[in-house]
Structure 1
Amino acid sequence: MRKSKLYLIGLLVLALSSCTSKKQQTAEITPNVPKIILETDIGNDVDDALALDMLYKYLDAGDIDLLGITINKEGTYPAEYTDIMNTWYGYPQIPIGIIHNGADCENDATNYAKAVCLIQKDNGEPAFKRSLKGDYNQLPEAPALYRKLLAQQPDNSVTIISVGFSTNLARLLDTPADDVSPLTGKELVAQKVKLLCTMAGCFNNPNLFEYNVVKDIPAAKKIFSEWPTTLVTSPFEVGIAINYPGSSIENDFGWAPMHPVVEAYKSYQQMPYDRPTWDLTSVLYSVEGPSYFNVSPAGKINVTDQGATEFTPDAAGNRYYLTVDSIQAENIKQHFVQLLTKQPAHFNK
């Protein structure tokens, strides 16, 4: 797709701030890299685990600063699995926020987070180490963690990657001023957040109601209409065009006798299978910029009562969605395989 002048003007700042340079791998965070918060329904679909792996690899390279991980799937296993991931990849200090009274999604798919948490060694010990002590249900709720993290950051510096439901983000907007910040949630977002990049919606089929939207339609309506900063979404049709190969899961991770993402992938569906990379595409755009994708003109996005997403071009709007052609899809798939199969910097057999 030939990029329009409107696209070039409207996304120039995003492109410049999101694109990363090729540099030697280092565990140190370099100045002015994207400051990321991941909002995830980890445990519902295994692409969340793959997307989180990507973020650790970017951390290893010094390409991002991962401020926190907030979870919009209820239960203790999503947080425990995230703790396992933080620990295994060498970043146990990354804070985790949770949700109470969220969307009912426990029985929507195999809970691979639970499956991995329950894996034991032959001697009965847990197969994967944890770093957090105590009850995972006592972790801070996501809106409170958002307020704390955002208040500590420079203005217009944070990118939120939302690859799950909009519940936590909607609740964040509704938070009042408090001891953490004199700003309301919406004011705090407007001041601190540069970009919200979501995996949500569908724009090539008005009869497809995308999962992340329909699980909490009121929250999705609120975010797409009221979120005060630029919002770029990677819709259903992008991720389903790029399938992570099950053959890679089976053949490319021999360096790790037990890998929390590989075990999650194997438990999610019967092997071998290829899985769409919905959530990974949002991570890719947020960190490496728009060069892998086509980006829509500026506009507005409306969520219907049934959960469909409708895009209306508007030069004054700040909503965008991504598309890919077949060549871009293949290039992105190869990039994902190269990135995910790389051994983490802190890997310890």
Structure 2
Amino acid sequence: MGISRRCRSVIVGTDWWTDSDDVVAMRVLVWAEQQGMVKIAAVGMSACMPYSAASLDAFLTAEGRPGVRIGIDIEATDFGKVPKYQKNMAERLNGAKRNEDCEDAVRMYRRTLAEMPNKLDLIEIGYQQVLAALLQSPGDDLSPLTGLELVTLKVNKLWVMAGHWENDGSGVENNFARNRRSIVAGHHVCAHWPTPITFLGWEVSNKILTGGTLPEDDNVALALRDHGFPNGRSSWDPMLVLLACLGDEEEAGYRTVVGTAHVDVDSGRNSFDVHADGKHAYVVKVHPDEVYREAIDRILESCVRSDL
């Protein structure tokens, strides 16, 4: 897998809550910016617990990327689980940012999109209620455009970790079907998002464990251990982030199935209609799992700092 040098601005959405692969993904994201592949415009948080902003801001600072604009859906407290890695990370890294210090996530997206002179890409590794609410947002003091108009004008493409696509494009997966909030959001985004979307599904990364080769005192390794995965975690989020930062499915080692994705508004089950003129696609691996695992682990290991 080569490295694309076409630098694009990105906004990244993360739940940073119910699993630890988000931590691995954020290291990949900062690495990609350091390689000149992307520019991190902002990060939106689609889930909220007491140490959300403190741990994420402190982690990004420790990774060499302080001052990232962070927005949060402060009402999104209903996804379950309270991972101890957030509290431990915030305390260990002296995280001082409070959830209340962050802008509302939808307003942050609107502000960032309105300010952008050129189109950017959106990357989503969490739940999609912020994106759905963005589409439905009216004009305001930041922009007279509706959210749908802003996205149409300012977004090139959306990259999403969601869905279970291997059984004829039909399955049930956490980011779509976690709860009522995520189901309704996934349904709305699939039905109304105006730009192309590429999905990386659960089946792509479930058996690809990364992060298990890091030193024990590394921040990513500590988060994985705190969450019960000292030997590495399934690579759903980091593989989607690397794919999106490369910006080309074939270059990243995938073929695509093109058509239209759907999420059933009652069950959260995803399905896919295959047709050549669709705006949606999901990816299928073309290499053995080891190729993708080694690519992620090389990135993680290259970012280990002696002062962590």
Superposition TM-score, scaled by structure 2 size: 0.90
2:4 maps to 20
State the Cα distance separating 1:191 from its structure 2 match: 0.6
The answer as to 2:155 corresponding to 1:193 is: yes
Aligned position for 2:53: 79
Cα offset, 1:128, TM superposition: 1.0
- 1:220 aligns to 2:186 (yes or no): yes
Aligned partner of 2:232: which letter? D
Counterpart CA distance in 1 for 2:14 and 2:111 is 18
Partner of 1:97: 71
Aligned to 1:280: 238
CA distance in 1, matches of 2:3, 2:134: 27
**1:338 paired to 2:298:** yes
Q: Per-residue displacement from partner, 1:186-215 (whole Å, max 9, x unpaired)?
A: 100011111110000011247742000012
Residue 315 in 1 paired to residue 273 in 2?
no
1:148 deviation in Å?
0.7
Aligned to 1:267: 226
Query: For the residues of structure 2 that align with 1:50 and 1:148, how far apart are their CA atoms?
Result: 27
**Secondary structure of 2:302's match?**
coil
Separation (CA, whole Å) in 2 of partners of 1:195 and 1:169: 13
Q: TM-score, normalised by structure 1?
A: 0.80
Does the Cα contact within 8 Å between 2:13 and 2:44 map onto a contact in 1? yes
Residues 59 and 89 of structure 2 are in contact (CA less than 8 Å); yes or no, is this contact kept in structure 1? no
Equivalent position amino acid for 2:36 in 1: G
| Unaligned 5+ runs, structure 1 | 1-17, 22-31, 119-126
Per-residue CA distance 1:246-299 (angstroms, 9 max, x = gap): 2x03xxx37xxx43222111100063x332100111111111121233333421
| SS of 1:39 mapped into structure 2 | strand
Secondary structure of 1:67's counterpart equals: strand
Per the TM alignment, residue 37 of structure 1 is displaced from its structure 2 partner at its CA by 1.0
**Structure 1 residue 62, shift from structure 2 partner:** 2.2
1:234 alignment partner, one of 200, 205, 225: 200
Describe the SS at the equivalent of 1:179: coil
Do the aligned partners of 1:301 and 1:310 also contact (CA within 8 Å) in 2? yes
Matched position secondary structure for 1:341? helix
Shift of 1:316: 2.5
Instruction: Give how far 1:103 is off.
Output: 5.6
* Equivalence for 1:128: 93
Asked if residue 182 in structure 1 is aligned to residue 147 in structure 2, the reply is no
Unaligned runs of 5+ in 2: none
**In the TM superposition, what is the alpha-carbon distance from 1:347 to its structure 2 partner?**
6.9
Q: Which amino acid aligns with 1:333?
A: R
Question: Which structure has more strand as a fraction of its residues?
Answer: 2
